[in-house]
Amino acid sequence: MKVPSDGDVMMAKRKAEEHIESEGKRKKKKKLVTPRPACSWVHFSREFIKEYSASHPESSGLKAATKAASDAWKSMSLEEKATYTRRAREVWDNYLSTAPARAPKPRKQTKLVTRCSPGRLFNVLQHLTTEQKDAVKSMGFGSLLGLRCRTLRRSLCLWLLQRFNTSGRSLEICGKRIPISPKDVEFVMGLAASGKDVVNSGPDDLIADLRRSYNATNRGISVRLLEERLKAPEAGEEFKRSFVLYALGTLLSPTARLDVSPSFLHFLINIDVIHQYNWGNFLLDRLVREVSRFRQGKQRAVGGCLLFLQLFYYESVSVDGPAALVPTPVPCLSSWGEEEITEREKRERDLGGYGFGEVICKYSCTNMESSEYRNHIDVSPTLKTSTGVAHGSVFEQEGDKIKVANNLMTSSIACRGIDATAESTGKPCRNKEYGCNVTLDYNNDHEETCIFSPCACPLPNCNFTGSSEQLSLHFSSKHWDSGRRFRYNNPLSVSLGINEQFLVLQAEEDGILFLLNKSIESIGNMIMVTCIGPSSSKEKFLYDLVAGRGVSSLRLKSLAEYFPGRVEGFPPIDFLLIPFRFLGYSGQLELEVCIWNSKESGAGCS
């Protein structure tokens, strides 16, 4: 009989220990994890399936009920879904406030992987024709034409991502918490931070034709295909749709994949309303979503507009001290080219790296004469902060321009929303609820000329009141089928029925509302055009009215006067008197109207 050696004994002992250890791992129970809250669809489907199963006992089970719930959900309007959306949001907010933070999955990568590529969009922009650039501007993406940055600073973006609080939507840098809002997207990228929500969901059959036209697969729409289509000189609907898809897929809202999400086609069905969307909120929502998915380990690449995060940091943190602050144009996107960014990165290194600068007020050094940004600035004579910082600004108002002379007598400026409180003397403007932030201690005549004076919806059964901008958004979202849309400097044929007293016209370029008014007198119809807005508005519009019958025609060219709503009575302004013999057999009044901005040289309708 062979006697086991010491080596054999040690080998058997080691195998026994490994067996015990492996058995222990198998029996080890998984840790209990708080389940993630359900989305709005799940809340709806639970209720629907329960009711469906009770009312359809002959159905084939859960599969049929789920299919019926899916069809019902796709056919519901946003208002009908709102109940479930609010419920899901409340549950989600409660989950974020109570559930422990999930430990992120360990990552081996130290380099940033992203599909955000400003260089690709930059190259496409260089080859656009004048007509194509005008088309881009008409959709509200004109700020992108000023893009000068071609590469991301990936080390900075990776550093910012580590300090980006997705639940609080803020950057935690330099010992401060800097909140980020859609207004900041507008400030940096020049995209509108107001308007209708961008909804990228809906019945698939509505976009079936568009998916086929773009060869969309389950992975998405090819970026290379979009680049080829953008090379064509045409500037119509196909160009506009392709440009928005390309801008979203390469810069504004890229995903972790190389292709563009086909879900974007849902809000590109009607190109005419692209400019009415809240793109600032959409960009920020998508950035938060993509960063959250990256941290959860669901994707290797980081989606979202990282260029916004990079430029937001540059604008929020000064590396030269407050004395070096100078007015910058708005949006800031056009201020940062490769040379400026290279110089900024050099100064960051000289200070010792990122996060050694001083947090500054993001809006203290904007070009306040910029028309796009003037309404977003709180113009007050003095500003005091809780940190004891003195920040003096002298505002001199001459006509419709505001001159700013910054007297900075401090070593640091508190950022808005960061341990700072603004104190102002005097009472606020009576139009504060409509967006005006002016106080009346330095200009008591302001309310008479305030551009935020309320305007009323012209429709008789609507009681909405708001600023002219708010009214424009209200009408385009609530009464989109109750008026006619037109383009400036383009004749529009319209008709007024015998009982119609007015027709609402809305400009596609800026959403401004006009009224084509009619009053029946003893000898004919009196017609005039008015613009809905405060009488203090500086912008002036001309209109051309033509009524014809056979070889005869009547014409009026005049200035559209401002009224804060529907015209009551008949004010003493220019009008066109059209005899009854010009009416059609059914009493219809056929007209051709053309409206244009008085500042456009040579504009007019021939």
Q: What is the tens place of the pLDDT at every residue in 327-345?
A: 566 788 999 999 999 999 9
600: left (phi over 0), alpha (psi -120 to 50) or beta: beta
For all residues of the chain together, what is the average pLDDT?
A: 78
Question: Any idea what the Cα angle at residue 233 is, between residues 232 and 239, rounded to 5°?
Answer: 70
Structural contact between residues 558 and 542, judged by C-beta atoms closer than 8 angstroms: yes
Whose structure tokens read 């201690």? 441
CB 569 within 8 A of CB 517: no
Work out the pLDDT band at 390, boundaries 50, 70, 90: very low
Report the 10 Å Cβ neighbour count for 464: 15
Residue 554: CA count within 13 A, CB half-sphere = 18
In the predicted structure, residue 397 carries a pLDDT above the cut 80: no
Bridge partners (DSSP) of residue 558 are 543
pLDDT at 418: 42
Give the SS3 label for residue 41: helix
CA distances to 157, 332, 336, 373 from 310, in Å: 6, 12, 10, 21
pLDDT over 90 (residue 246): yes
Closest CA to 492 of 358, 577, 382, 594: 594
Find out whether 138 and 275 touch, Cβ atoms under 8 Å. yes
Q: Residue 106 — pLDDT band, cuts 50, 70, 90?
A: low
pLDDT tens digits, residue range 17-35? 666 666 655 555 555 566 7
Do the Cβ atoms of 478 and 462 come closer than 8 Å? Answer: yes
Look at 123-137, 148-162, 554-568, 573-587 and tell me which has the smallest mean pLDDT. 573-587
DSSP per-residue letters across 456-524: E-SSTT---EE-HHHHHHHHHHHSTTSSEEE-TTS-EEEEE-TT--EEEEEETTT--EEEEEEEE-SSE
* Residue type (1 letter), 351: L
Print burial letters for 510-523: b (CB count within 10 Å at least 16), e (below 16). ebbbbbbbbeeeee
Whose CA is closest to 333, among 150, 146, 152, 137?
A: 146
Please name every residue paired with 403 in a beta bridge, in sequence order, or none if there are none: 396
Between the ranges 8-12, 51-55, 156-160, 445-449, where is the mean pLDDT highest?
A: 156-160
* H helix runs in 296-365, sequence order: 306-316, 338-351
List the 492-496 sheet strands across, edge first: 492-496, 589-597, 541-549, 552-559
Q: Is residue 512 over pLDDT 70?
A: yes
CA atoms within 13 A on the CB side of 233: 2
Q: Is the pTM of this model over 0.75?
A: no
Higher pLDDT pick, 488 / 29: 488
Rounded to a whole number, what is the largest CA-CA distance in the chain? Answer: 133
Instruction: List strand residue ranges (DSSP E) for 343-481, in order.
Output: 358-359, 382-384, 390-398, 401-408, 455-456, 465-466
